[in-house]
Amino acid sequence: MYNIFEAPFVREMCDITSNMYRMGWDERNGGNISYRLKAEEVEAYLDTKRVLRTLPLDFDASFIRGEYFIVTGTGRYFKNIEKCPQNNMGIIRIGENGRSYDILWGFEDGGRPTSELPTHLMNHIARMKVDPENRVVMHCHPANVLAMTFVHDLDDKAFTKTLWQMCTECIIVFPEGVSVLPWMVCGNTEIGVATAEKIRDTRVVVWAQHGIFGTGKDIDETFGLIETVEKAAEIYIKIMGVPLKQTITDAQLAVLAKEFGVTPREGYLEN
Ligand code: 13P
Ligand code: ZN
């Protein structure tokens, strides 16, 4: 059995959480990540028959029964994960009945997975139905996206179009747009259901006055997606309230999409 501290997925989680902390997206315990692992990857580092604890799930996760995830801990600071991964995150496996999960590694000082686990798992289920290669769900609190939710219309189309207009790359990186949820209580299955409903159509869901959920097939892609949305929001916050002299027009966005072979969300660009 190899040393789990050298496992690529543990290293990746350490690197990305440190990076996200340095981006300023994850103050205190803000943010959480879940990363779906292949059974063979986990088996190379762990005896998967050795269950440390079993905890309940209050929704039906049978679609992902037997799936393994490495997930950050509730109340844990991203800045501390690299120093002590075994306390601040853990590896879980969804139970065969879809109503519980086993902890196989980590959370060594008595911790448990993020309070947003219901939203993470529901998002995995929703995205896997669209793209079986989806492996990552990432949540964080980037300042400019949050700021934008105070001053911008929260309509999905209006929010998306503003972001697309802020940087040329946006429509290429997220041609399907982003979705926005109004303010809700976090950490429960209700916000999980509402988020999963929207994440079917867009890999990004913004939670007004709270943060962002991004999904993707790997850590880099998901991080890059959030980074691009946050950069666009930053430009919006810098220019809002200032009379614009020019912008990227719908006609230009359409040319861009065609040139880069992406299909913009239907009905979002005016002809
Ligand atoms: P956790 O500490 O439970 O992961 O919660 C942080 C957070 O961002 C809640 O939305
Ligand atoms: Zn949060």
Measuring from atom 1 of ligand 1, which residue has the nearest CA?
Answer: 74
User: Is 32 touching ligand 1 by the criterion CB < 6 Å?
Assistant: yes
For the stretch 23-55, pLDDT in tens is: 999 999 999 999 999 999 999 999 999 999 999
Which numbered atom of ligand 1 lies nearest the CA of 141?
A: 8
Q: How many helices (H) and strands (E) in the chain? A: 11, 9
Confidence of residue 271 (pLDDT cuts 50, 70, 90): confident
User: Is 26 touching ligand 1 by the criterion CB < 6 Å?
Assistant: no
Confidence of residue 218 (pLDDT cuts 50, 70, 90): very high
What percent of the chain is helix, strand and coil (3-state, nearest 5)? 40, 20, 40
CA–CA distance from 165 to each of 103, 106, 175, 223, 248 (Å)? 44, 43, 12, 21, 5
Q: What percent of the chain has pLDDT over 70?
A: 100
> Could you tell me whether strands 136-140 and 211-216 are parallel, antiparallel, or unpaired per DSSP bridges?
antiparallel
Which residue in the block uniquely carries the two structure tokens 């929703």? 126
Give every CB contact of residue 104 below 8 A, 6+ residues apart in sequence: 42, 46, 48, 50, 51, 52, 68, 90, 91, 92, 93
Ligand 1 pocket test, pick from 20, 34, 116, 138 with the greatest ligand atom count within 8 Å of Cβ, gives 116
- 3-state class (DSSP) for residue 3: coil
155 alpha carbon – ligand 2 mean position (Å):
21
| Ligand (nearest to CA of 211) | 2
| Ligand (nearest to CA of 75) | 1
For the stretch 247-270, pLDDT in tens is: 999 999 999 999 999 999 999 999
163 alpha carbon – ligand 2 mean position (Å):
21
The one-letter code for the residue type at 196 is A
CA dihedral 157, 267, 193, 120 (to 10 degrees): -80
139 alpha carbon – ligand 2 mean position (Å):
6
Instruction: Name the residues around ion ligand 2, CB cutoff 5 A.
Output: 211
What's the chain's average pLDDT?
98
User: Is 144 touching ligand 1 by the criterion CB < 6 Å?
Assistant: no
222 alpha carbon – ligand 2 mean position (Å):
16
State the Rg of the chain over Cα. 19
Confidence of residue 227 (pLDDT cuts 50, 70, 90): very high
Both tokens assigned to 262? 């992406």
232 in Cβ contact with 166 (< 8 Å) = yes
25 in Cβ contact with 77 (< 8 Å) = no
CA–CA distance from 211 to each of 72, 138, 255 (Å)? 17, 11, 31
For the stretch 66-75, pLDDT in tens is: 999 999 999 9
Is pLDDT at 189 greater than 90 in this prediction? yes
156 in Cβ contact with 72 (< 8 Å) = no
For residue 1, the model assigns a pLDDT of 84
Ligand 1 pocket test, pick from 78, 114, 121 with the greatest ligand atom count within 8 Å of Cβ, gives 114
> Among this protein's residues, is 133 annotated catalytic?
no
231 in Cβ contact with 24 (< 8 Å) = no
For the stretch 92-113, pLDDT in tens is: 999 999 999 999 999 999 999 9
Return the number of other C-beta atoms located less than 10 Å from residue 147's C-beta. Answer: 16
Which residue out of 67, 116, 230, 234 is catalytically annotated?
A: 116
Q: What is the distance between the alpha carbons of residues 171 and 202, in angstroms, rounded to a whole number?
A: 13
Ligand 1 pocket test, pick from 26, 27, 32, 81 with the greatest ligand atom count within 8 Å of Cβ, gives 32
For the residues of 111-177, what is the DSSP string, one character each?
Answer: --B-TTHHHHHHHHHHHHHH-TT--EEEEE--HHHHHHHHHS---HHHHHHHHHHH-TTHHHH-TT-
202 alpha carbon – ligand 1 mean position (Å):
22
Q: What is the distance between the alpha carbons of residues 15 and 11, in angstroms, rounded to a whole number?
A: 6
| Ligand (nearest to CA of 146) | 2
Sign of the alpha-carbon dihedral angle for 179, 135, 18, 27 = positive
- What value does the mean pLDDT take over residues 155-162? 98
260 alpha carbon – ligand 1 mean position (Å):
36
